[in-house]
Structure 1
Amino acid sequence: MLSNTPWAGLEAGKIDTRRVNASGRWNFFWAVLTRSEAALVLQLSQLPSPLPDLPMLRSLDIHFQTLPGGPILYIRLNDAAQVELFETLCRDVVTAAETAEDEAAALQRAIGRTFRWHHLLRGGKDDLLPEEAQKGLIGELKILKLLVENMGAKAAIETWTGPSGAPKDFELRSDCIEVKARRGAAQPFVKISNEYQLAEVEGRRLWLAVLTVDKVQSPNGLTLADHVAALARILERTAPSVIPQFDLRLADAGYDPMHDYSAWHWQASEAEFFAVEDPFPRLAVPVPLGVSNLSYSLSLDACAPFNTDWATVRATLFEEGPDERA
């Protein structure tokens, strides 16, 4: 099973290892574990505290373990028939981690990359995001940054539910936020993609956040990768343990940091907010039986009576205090 692979020649029946890259910055090893399973091992100087969440991948075990030689993170293959794909996964994880400046960041990137494989292997796409999707993701990142600044990184990441397919982009304990990005020169409308995006959620207020995101010529503006990196730097400074969850949300949104987004530069405005409450113009739910998958254009002029600002929204979102935040 292990011939013609990086694990060839390693002795089965005990933990046997071979360094992945003799000149590599971090201590990655090809390993054969006690039941002859191929594995990738990252040797650590210490375990992170608290331990970060780890992805669950079919045919793989991913765990921390403390050995006589010190703590490790290992990714072990359980299905020998998948060894070629497993080698590709391992090399991708190592490549992602090698760019890190310290061991903690290397570990975060290794875990983040396995989350990306989690996304791909459960049916995610590996294509560049089209322009409309880039604009939408930039809008969501702008709102996520506001939430990180006001409720903390971990709680904010947990509220970002749109990439996982939830009807609303952000779901807090007592509020939901739907985000729309539009061109500044376009007609004053936003597209509502389905009948549930602006539907009431029992026990929660609903806010519509609208941003203009315009394509500009380099060197003006920022790329999608720039927007992601800027928020990632904030998370790395304030709550590095949430980076894997951030990476997973990005992967669910279709973003891959290995892709080249340098051809698109974007200028994004601050968000304009609207309180979605009756008689706000929207389709009523439930719609007639047999009717579904509706989309419609919403006039921002018609929404003007419901316009508010971030200061008002912020005071409403967090009026219950930090202990009550999502």
Structure 2
Amino acid sequence: MRVEQLADKWEQISGSNAVKGYKSLRITSSCYSDVYLAINEQGNHCLILSLPNDHDLKFKVIRKDKILLEYLADKSYVVMTLLDSDFNGLFDDLILSLFNAIKDIEDVAVYSKVFIQTFHRWVLFFTPEFSDKLPKDIVKGIFGELIVLKYLVKYLKYKDINDVLSGWVGPYDQGHDFVYDDRNIEVKTKDHKKVSVRISGEHQLEIEAGKELILSVVSVTEDLINGASLKMLLQELKELTFERFGDFSIVLKALHQKGLTLQNIVAYDNYRFKSEAITDYNCLEKGFPKIIPANLPSNISNVKYDLNLTEMSKFILRVREL
């Protein structure tokens, strides 16, 4: 199911008659559980999980500024209600993510639990906007990491889509930018004509036993006309994620660490970059130039240096033109 299909269903609902206080339409017959898109008497978008009458569910009402989850025992409905129409797009994303999570589950106890758990994962994103704006260099760095993530989602097909997404840990500022069982990836984003990247600490190129360590250098050109914004790149990544039945909240949670939401990301539309290439370097290759804790005196730390790339062709694993 795609966002466009949801938009068509919302239009169909708007013209229908209300039943039990809701205008509703079953999301699809291909889902084992009975899930309905609905509009209540106040005009709010809702998602309803209709449970069998003999299934008892116990949980407290969860009310936030923008969204509400409640159980209507007399109707056997679990109802998710959006309280602010400015978040309609994000609500549709939640619906798609939830649909992907429960569509193949037959057990009512399991799919009702997943329904509620999915709400808990997403409720974080229905919050007021952050006020502090990120500087351009941070935006460019996140842009580069998203470029790499999009590539991994498209081509790292031997891994589960959610494992690929969860491997992006750059925004958490812990260790490398991508962490997987078999490899770690450190991402640096540079202007296309620049010949060096900034290494911001002795741990950034530190090798973990039994894993590859790849330095992925994303070359970009600032281009307000033909370049892409964070919002545009995130939209592409969202479509890829839903096509593969993934959980997009994993990406949103990571962005949230940097104060980015689907609502405030438009504030960065004036930063646009054209992606030129991703160049992967093998940091395990003998002679790869790096400063790591193992070759530093114990009383020296927080080392920062520029890594010149002009004479590092022998360490290149691959170059991906974009």
TM-score range, shorter chain: 0.5 to 0.7
The answer as to 2:246 corresponding to 1:227 is: no
* Match for residue 148 of structure 2 among 121, 140, 143: 143
Q: CA-to-partner distance for each residue in 1:212-258, whole Å, 9 max, x for gaps?
A: 1221122x111111001110111122224x11112101112332221
- Residue 96 of structure 1 is matched in structure 2 by 87
* Match for residue 162 of structure 1 among 158, 170, 173: 170
- For residues 223 and 257 of structure 1, the distance between their equivalents in structure 2, rounded to whole angstroms, comes to 13
- For residues 228 and 318 of structure 2, the distance between their equivalents in structure 1, rounded to whole angstroms, comes to 25
- Residue 25 of structure 2 is matched in structure 1 by none
- For residues 130 and 103 of structure 1, the distance between their equivalents in structure 2, rounded to whole angstroms, comes to 29
Alignment of 1:82-93 (within 5 A): 91=83
- For residues 194 and 102 of structure 1, the distance between their equivalents in structure 2, rounded to whole angstroms, comes to 37
Q: CA-to-partner distance for each residue in 1:169-194, whole Å, 9 max, x for gaps?
A: 111111101111000122x0000111
- Residues 66 and 91 from structure 1, CA distance in 2 versus in 1: closer, same or farther, beyond 3 angstroms? closer
Q: CA-to-partner distance for each residue in 1:236-288, whole Å, 9 max, x for gaps?
A: 22224x11112101112332221222222210123111000232100031432
- For residues 256 and 86 of structure 2, the distance between their equivalents in structure 1, rounded to whole angstroms, comes to 17
Q: 2:283·2:315 contact (CA, 8 Å) conserved in 1?
A: yes
* Matched residue type, 1:72: V
- Residue 238 of structure 1 is matched in structure 2 by 244
* Matched residue type, 1:183: D
TM-score normalised according to structure 2 size: 0.65
- Residue 81 of structure 1 is matched in structure 2 by none
- Residue 180 of structure 1 is matched in structure 2 by 188
* Match for residue 45 of structure 2 among 8, 26, 29: 26
* Match for residue 202 of structure 1 among 205, 209, 224: 209
- For residues 292 and 193 of structure 1, the distance between their equivalents in structure 2, rounded to whole angstroms, comes to 11
Aligned length: 249
* Matched residue type, 1:307: I
Q: 1:177·1:208 contact (CA, 8 Å) conserved in 2?
A: yes
Q: Secondary structure at the match of 1:226?
A: helix
* Matched residue type, 1:24: G
- Residues 157 and 101 from structure 1, CA distance in 2 versus in 1: closer, same or farther, beyond 3 angstroms? closer
- Residues 102 and 233 from structure 1, CA distance in 2 versus in 1: closer, same or farther, beyond 3 angstroms? closer
Structure 2 gaps of 5+ residues are 1-20, 22-37, 53-61, 63-67, 100-117
- For residues 94 and 179 of structure 2, the distance between their equivalents in structure 1, rounded to whole angstroms, comes to 33
- For residues 51 and 248 of structure 2, the distance between their equivalents in structure 1, rounded to whole angstroms, comes to 18
Offset at 1:96? 1.7
* Match for residue 295 of structure 1 among 282, 304, 315: 304
- For residues 79 and 141 of structure 2, the distance between their equivalents in structure 1, rounded to whole angstroms, comes to 35
Q: Secondary structure at the match of 2:253?
A: helix
Q: 2:172·2:254 contact (CA, 8 Å) conserved in 1?
A: yes
- For residues 300 and 279 of structure 1, the distance between their equivalents in structure 2, rounded to whole angstroms, comes to 14
Q: CA-to-partner distance for each residue in 1:95-153, whole Å, 9 max, x for gaps?
A: 424665588249689766522369x9xxx964333211121111111211222222342
TM-score normalised according to structure 1 size: 0.64
Offset at 1:21? 7.1
Offset at 1:157? 1.0
Q: CA-to-partner distance for each residue in 1:52-96, whole Å, 9 max, x for gaps?
A: xxxx9xxxxx97868442342679xxxxxxxxxxxxxx856x642
- For residues 87 and 132 of structure 2, the distance between their equivalents in structure 1, rounded to whole angstroms, comes to 18
- Residue 265 of structure 1 is matched in structure 2 by 272
| 4+ long deviations beyond 6 Å | 106-110
- Residue 51 of structure 1 is matched in structure 2 by none
Q: Secondary structure at the match of 2:124?
A: helix
Q: 1:195·1:294 contact (CA, 8 Å) conserved in 2?
A: yes
Q: Secondary structure at the match of 2:45?
A: coil
- For residues 244 and 229 of structure 2, the distance between their equivalents in structure 1, rounded to whole angstroms, comes to 23
Q: Among all aligned residue pairs of Structure 1 and Structure 2, give the percentage whose two residues are the same amino acid.
A: 23
Of 209-218 and 108-117, the range deviating more from structure 2: 108-117
* Match for residue 192 of structure 1 among 193, 199, 214: 199
Offset at 1:303? 2.4
- Residue 281 of structure 2 is matched in structure 1 by 274
- Residues 212 and 238 from structure 1, CA distance in 2 versus in 1: closer, same or farther, beyond 3 angstroms? same
- For residues 125 and 310 of structure 2, the distance between their equivalents in structure 1, rounded to whole angstroms, comes to 41
- For residues 281 and 130 of structure 1, the distance between their equivalents in structure 2, rounded to whole angstroms, comes to 29
Q: What's the C-alpha RMSD, in Å, of the aligned pairs? A: 3.8
